[in-house]
Amino acid sequence: EAQVTQNPRYLITVTGKKLTVTCSQNMNHEYMSWYRQDPGLGLRQIYYSMNVEVTDKGDVPEGYKVSRKEKRNFPLILESPSPNQTSLYFCASRPTGPGYGYTFGSGTRLTVV
């Protein structure tokens, strides 16, 4: 089944403890993105990648890192999480070209205490 898989689905962590949220897609898509969803603020892009080793900042990149060493994987790294990073995170992917929509993962609910 074509899908974007995120892990974990739920995570509670403490301030300052490094964590990684994994994202993997099995559709050979070039474009991948991370979004966070917050009440009243909607969905906002954190980082995106247009292909292997090509990444760039989105609207809210502060406190996050990403890497794209393989086409299928696009992990989101929080080096020193803070409570304001408590949010619902989504990874998404799509092929190049204008004729395609994004496929989103099921989300990761992160709580930083």
Partner 1 sequence: DAKTTQPNSMESNEEEPVHLPCNHSTISGTDYIHWYRQLPSQGPEYVIHGLTSNVNNRMASLAIAEDRKSSTLILHRATLRDAAVYYCTRIIQGAQKLVFGQGTRLTINP
Q: Please provide residue 111's backbone torsions phi and psi, each rounded to the nearest 5 degrees.
A: -120, 125
By CB under 8 A, name the binding residues for partner 1. 4, 31, 33, 35, 42-45, 48, 50, 56, 58-59, 90, 92, 94, 98, 101-107
Smallest distance from partner 1 to CB 31, Å: 5
Which residue number, 19 or 102, has a Cβ lying nearer to partner 1? 102
Angle at 47 between CA 92 and CA 93, to 5 degrees: 20
The answer to whether the beta carbons of residues 81 and 65 sit under 8 Å apart is no
Greatest extent of the chain over all pairs of C-alpha atoms, in Å? 42
Which residue number, 35 or 81, has a Cβ lying nearer to partner 1? 35
Angle at 19 between CA 39 and CA 76, to 5 degrees: 65
Which residue number, 35 or 64, has a Cβ lying nearer to partner 1? 35
Smallest distance from partner 1 to CB 98, Å: 6
